[in-house]
Structure 1
Amino acid sequence: MAAIWYLYCSLIFSMLYFFTKRFSKKIENLPPRPFPCLPVIGHLHLLKQPIFKTLSEIAKKHGDLLLLQYGSRPVLLVSSPAAAEECFTTNDVACANRPRFLMTKHFAINNTSLAWAPYGDHWRNLRRLVSLELLSSGRLQLLQWIRVNEVKSMVSSLIKRQNRPLDMRVVFFELTLNVMMMMIAGKRYVGDNITDAKEAKKFREIHGETFKIGGTMAIVDYIPWIKSWKLEKQMIELQKERDAFMQNLIEERRRKMKSNRRDGESWKTLIDVILILQETDPEYYSDAMIRSLILVLILAGTDTTINTMEWSLSLLLNHPEVLKKVQMEIDNQIGENKRLLEESDLPKLPFLRSIILESNRMYPPLPLLVPHETSKDCIIGGFRVPSGTMISTNAWAIQNDPNTWEDPRSFKPERHKSSVGFPELGGRDGFKLMPFGSGRRGCPGEALAVRTVGLALGTLIQCFDWSRVGEEMVDMTEAIAFSLQKGEPLQAKCKPRAIMAKFLSQEKLFSITDIY
C-alpha cells in the first residue's frame, strides 16, 4: 500500500513539475525547449556523436532556435541564417562574451587569451594588436615570402615522391606548421633545414597533445560537482610544458633581436613585433601574454587550415571533372610552363575560390563555431535569452540545410559564382556561409587562411596531376573531434603535369637550401 501511495505521489509531483515549468516558460518568453529535459543532466542525454549532426536533427524536429540545458548550463542552439544574423548583428555586443571551461582555465590563462577573453577593454586591446600589428594586410604582405618558400618546399618534396601513395594530411601539416612557426619565431619544425630536430619533435608532441586534450568535452563544464581530477592534472602538466617551450622561443628571439639590431637584419617575426611593444609597456605586454597569444595563433592557424585543404583535395579527387576545370582556369590565367601561381593571382581565379568556399560549406572547419555567451538579457527570434546563456551556432546545419541550399550534400562549386568569399573582395553569402564565424568575435586570421589555402591548393593543382590510390572513391566520413577532420587521412598520388614538367625540373628553384 505504501508503495502505491509513493508511486501516486511521484506521479502527481512529476505532473505538477512539468506543467509548472511549461507555464513559467511561457510567462518568461523563453525559446522552445525539447522534451524531456532530465534532472541534473538536462539534454545531455540527447547528444550523440557526431554532435553537430545530432543537433541538426534536433533542430529539424523542434525549430532553428532552441534553449537546451547541458547539465547546469543553458545553451541557445542557433541553426538558421536568420537567427545567426540576430546574434551577430543586432545583439553582437550582448553575445560577444565567451563561456568558461576547464580547458580555457588552464590553456587560456583563466580566460584571458584572445580567443577566450570576455568582451571588454582587454579583449579589444588584444584584437587591435592582432589586427593592426600581427595579421594586418601590410604584415601579411611583408611575410608573403615565407608562404611562397614553404609552398615551393612542399612541391619539391612531392616531386621526389611522385607516383607513390602520400598521406596528404601529413603534407598539409608540415606546410602549415612551417608557415606559422616561420612567421611567429623564424623557425621551421618539419622537413629539411631544421636547426634543432629535438626541439622540433618536442613541439610537435605538445601540439598534438593540445588538440587531443583540448578537444575533450569535460563533464565538469556542465555538471560542476563531478570532478575530472585526471583530466585537469593532464591539462596542468601540459600547460607547464607549453609555457616552458614558448618562453624559450621568446628568450631566443630576445637574444636575436639584439644581434639583429647590430647586424641590421630587416624582417621581424611576430614575436619580435610584440617584444618591441613590450619595451614601451612591459606590464601589459608581459611574457605570459605573449606566450598566450603565440599559442592562439599557432592553434587557430594550423588545424583548421589543414582540414580545409584536405577536404578540398578529397572532393576534387572524387570529382575529377572539377579538377580538370580548375586546372584549365589556372593555365589560362598564368600560362603554361611559365611560372608558379602567386598570391596576386588568387582574385583572378574565381573557380578556385568557389571550390574552397564549397569545401568550407560542406565541411566547415569548426562545425559548431567557437561558443559565445550572453552578457545580458537580449531578444533573439522574438524570445528572451537570459544573461549567461551559452550560444552554440551550428554552422554545419546552416550550411547543409536544404531549405537554404539546393541539393546541399552535392559538391557544386559553381553555386558560389556570385559570392567572392575573400575578405579583400567581398562578402560570403550573408549568414548562410560562416566558415570563419561572424561579428566582432569572427576569426582575425581569415585573410592569412585564405592566402595560405589558395596559394597551396592552387599550386598543387597547377603543378601535378592527382589520382586516388585505388579505384574506390575517397572516404568522406568525418572524425569525432573539435574541428571537422576526415575520419581517414587522405591518401593520394601525384605526378608532374606534362605542361609543367620542364619548369619543375629546375632543381635550384625548389632547393630548400636556396630558399632559406
Structure 2
Amino acid sequence: MDSIQKIFFGEDSNTVMGTVNKYGQAFDNAQSLVRVHIFQSFAFHLFSDTFLPWPFGGVSGLARMLWDASSATHREFRAERRKINEEADRLVRECLADPQFESRRDLLALFLQAQKELKFTTSFVKDMVLNLIIAGRDTTACLLSWMFYEIAKSPDIQKRLHDEIDKKSPAGTPLDLKTLSHNEMPYLHGVVYEALRLWPPVPIDSKIAYADDVLPGGFKVPKGVQLAWAPYNMGRDPNRYPDPRAFRPERWIPFSAPAHHEFPVFQAGPRICLGMDMALFEAKIATVELLRHLQFELKPGQQITYGDKITMNIKNGDKDELLVWIKNR
C-alpha cells in the first residue's frame, strides 16, 4: 500500500509499520462484505430473476432493491463505500490544492492536470483512483505473500534462491530491469511465475461482451453476455502442468513467455494489465532485498488458506496473517 500510495497519489503512507490507511482499510472491508453479500443473496436473486416479472424481477428490479435495503451486510458495505468516496474526495481535493500541483508526477496529479483538455469529470477521476487501488494494491501484496509462503516452507527452493542472488546480485549491487530479468536470474523468475500459476492474485475474473463473438471452440457469445474464467483453475490443469499442485520453479526454465490467453493472470488482449511489468519488477526487488540478508522458515501449526476478498489474500485460519521465523543469514 505504501508504494502504491506514493506512486499513484503522491502521498506518504506507513502501513508497513502498522499505521492504518483509511482508504485501504475501507477498501478491504468493502471487498469482504460485497463477497459475503453475493453469497447470501445468490438463491434469492436466482429466484427473483427467474420467476418474478419486471418491475419486480431482474438486476434492477424492486425485489433486489428491497433485498439489499434489508440486508445488514449490504448496509455495512454502503458505509465502507462512503468512507472510500470520502477518502477519494480528500485525495483529489488535496492534490488540486497542492502549491506544487503543476510539477507533480504521480498518476492522480497527471489525470487532474489533463482534466481540462480531456474533459474528465471529478467523478471519473474518483473512479480512476479506485481502479488504480484495485489494480495495484492487493495484487502485488498477494503475490509476495504466497511466494514467501512457498519459499519459507521449502528450504531447497530458498537455498537455490540464496545461491542465485549471492552469485548474480549480492548486497550492494544495483537492481534494475536487466539484472532482474529471466536471462540474468532464471530461478527467481521461475519462482515468481510459479507463485502466479498456483496462487493468481485475482483467482476468478470476468468480462462483458462488447459485441457478438465466437470463442475458438465455436461457442457463440451474444453481445452483453458476461463471461467468467478462473486463472486459479487454469493454473492447476494437469494436462498443461504435470503434477500441478507441486511448486516447481523449474517449469519456467528456460523461460518462454506463456500466451496471455492461456495464462491470464494479468488478463489479455486490449485489457491486459498496464502495470504487469511494474508488478513483476516490484515483486523481484522486494524478494531479492529480503533474501540478500535474511532466511525464512514457516511457523508450524498454521492453517494456511485463502481469504474472502476479490483478490487471493492469504489467511491463517480466520486471521489475515502468515507467520514466519526470520533469521539473519
Q: Give the length in aligned residue pairs.
A: 300
Give the conservation status (yes or no) of the 8 Å contact 2:186–2:254: no
Distance 1:320 1:193 in 2: 28
The 1:389–1:192 alpha-carbon spacing in structure 2 relative to 1, beyond 3 Å, is closer
Amino acid across the alignment from 1:404: R
Distance 1:491 1:403 in 2: 34
Distance 1:260 1:367 in 2: 38
Distance 2:188 2:213 in 1: 40
Residue 27 of structure 2 is aligned with which of 207, 214, 239? 207
**Post-superposition offset of 1:296:** 0.9
- TM-superposition CA deviations, 1:99-137 (whole Å, max 9, x none): xxxxxxxxxxxxxxxxxxxxxxxxxxxxxxxxxxxxxxx
The equivalent residue for 1:418 is: 254
Amino acid across the alignment from 2:94: E
**Post-superposition offset of 1:291:** 0.9
Residue 125 of structure 2 is aligned with which of 276, 290, 294? 290
Provide TM-score, normalisation by structure 1.
Answer: 0.53
The 1:392–1:462 alpha-carbon spacing in structure 2 relative to 1, beyond 3 Å, is same
The equivalent residue for 1:403 is: 239
Distance 1:271 1:452 in 2: 20
Give the conservation status (yes or no) of the 8 Å contact 1:404–1:432: no
Q: 1:14-413 counterparts in 2 under 5 A? A: 177-191=1-15, 201-216=21-36, 217=38, 218-219=41-42, 222=46, 223=49, 224=58, 225-226=63-64, 227-229=67-69, 230=71, 231-256=73-98, 258-259=99-100, 267-281=104-118, 284-335=119-170, 337-339=171-173, 341-347=175-181, 348-369=184-205, 371-380=206-215, 381-413=217-249
- TM-superposition CA deviations, 1:49-87 (whole Å, max 9, x none): xxxxxxxxxxxxxxxxxxxxxxxxxxxxxxxxxxxxxxx
Residue 492 of structure 1 is aligned with which of 318, 321, 324? 324
- TM-superposition CA deviations, 1:165-199 (whole Å, max 9, x none): xxxxxxxxxxxx000111122222325899xx7xx
Q: Which moved more, 1:445-454 or 1:408-417?
A: 445-454
Residue segments in structure 2 that go unaligned for 5+ positions in a row? 50-57
Matched, 1:483 2:298: no
Distance 1:377 1:291 in 2: 31
The 1:331–1:221 alpha-carbon spacing in structure 2 relative to 1, beyond 3 Å, is farther
Give the conservation status (yes or no) of the 8 Å contact 2:147–2:192: yes
Distance 1:191 1:201 in 2: 7
**Post-superposition offset of 1:323:** 0.7
The 1:384–1:271 alpha-carbon spacing in structure 2 relative to 1, beyond 3 Å, is closer
RCO (CA 8 Å, sep 6+): is it higher in 1 or 2? 1
**Post-superposition offset of 1:408:** 0.5
- TM-superposition CA deviations, 1:447-499 (whole Å, max 9, x none): 221121111122112221112234x5x644333443222231210121222xx
Distance 2:31 2:3 in 1: 19
Give the conservation status (yes or no) of the 8 Å contact 1:419–1:429: no
Distance 2:166 2:34 in 1: 42
Instruction: Provide the secondary structure at the position in 1 that maps to 2:305.
Output: coil
The 1:398–1:191 alpha-carbon spacing in structure 2 relative to 1, beyond 3 Å, is closer
Q: What is the root-mean-square deviation in Å for CA atoms of aligned residues?
A: 2.6
**Post-superposition offset of 1:204:** 3.8
The 1:253–1:221 alpha-carbon spacing in structure 2 relative to 1, beyond 3 Å, is farther
Instruction: Provide the secondary structure at the position in 2 that maps to 1:248.
Output: helix
Residue segments in structure 1 that go unaligned for 5+ positions in a row? 1-176, 421-426, 498-516
The 1:376–1:192 alpha-carbon spacing in structure 2 relative to 1, beyond 3 Å, is closer
Distance 2:45 2:292 in 1: 47
Give the conservation status (yes or no) of the 8 Å contact 2:151–2:158: yes
Distance 2:45 2:155 in 1: 45
Instruction: Provide the secondary structure at the position in 2 that maps to 1:189.
Output: coil
Distance 1:486 1:319 in 2: 17
The 1:214–1:446 alpha-carbon spacing in structure 2 relative to 1, beyond 3 Å, is farther
Instruction: Provide the secondary structure at the position in 1 that maps to 2:325.
Output: strand
Give the conservation status (yes or no) of the 8 Å contact 1:343–1:455: no
Give the conservation status (yes or no) of the 8 Å contact 1:341–1:462: no
The 1:354–1:333 alpha-carbon spacing in structure 2 relative to 1, beyond 3 Å, is same
Instruction: Provide the secondary structure at the position in 2 that maps to 1:493.
Output: strand
Provide TM-score, normalisation by structure 2.
Answer: 0.81
Give the conservation status (yes or no) of the 8 Å contact 1:480–1:487: no
Instruction: Provide the secondary structure at the position in 2 that maps to 1:487.
Output: strand
**Post-superposition offset of 1:213:** 2.5
Distance 1:269 1:459 in 2: 25
- Percent identity for Structure 1 against Structure 2: 20
Give the conservation status (yes or no) of the 8 Å contact 1:312–1:356: yes
Distance 2:100 2:136 in 1: 29
Distance 1:333 1:374 in 2: 46
Amino acid across the alignment from 1:362: L
Distance 1:340 1:241 in 2: 40
The 1:305–1:328 alpha-carbon spacing in structure 2 relative to 1, beyond 3 Å, is same
Distance 1:400 1:353 in 2: 19
Amino acid across the alignment from 1:346: L
Instruction: Provide the secondary structure at the position in 1 that maps to 2:114.
Output: helix
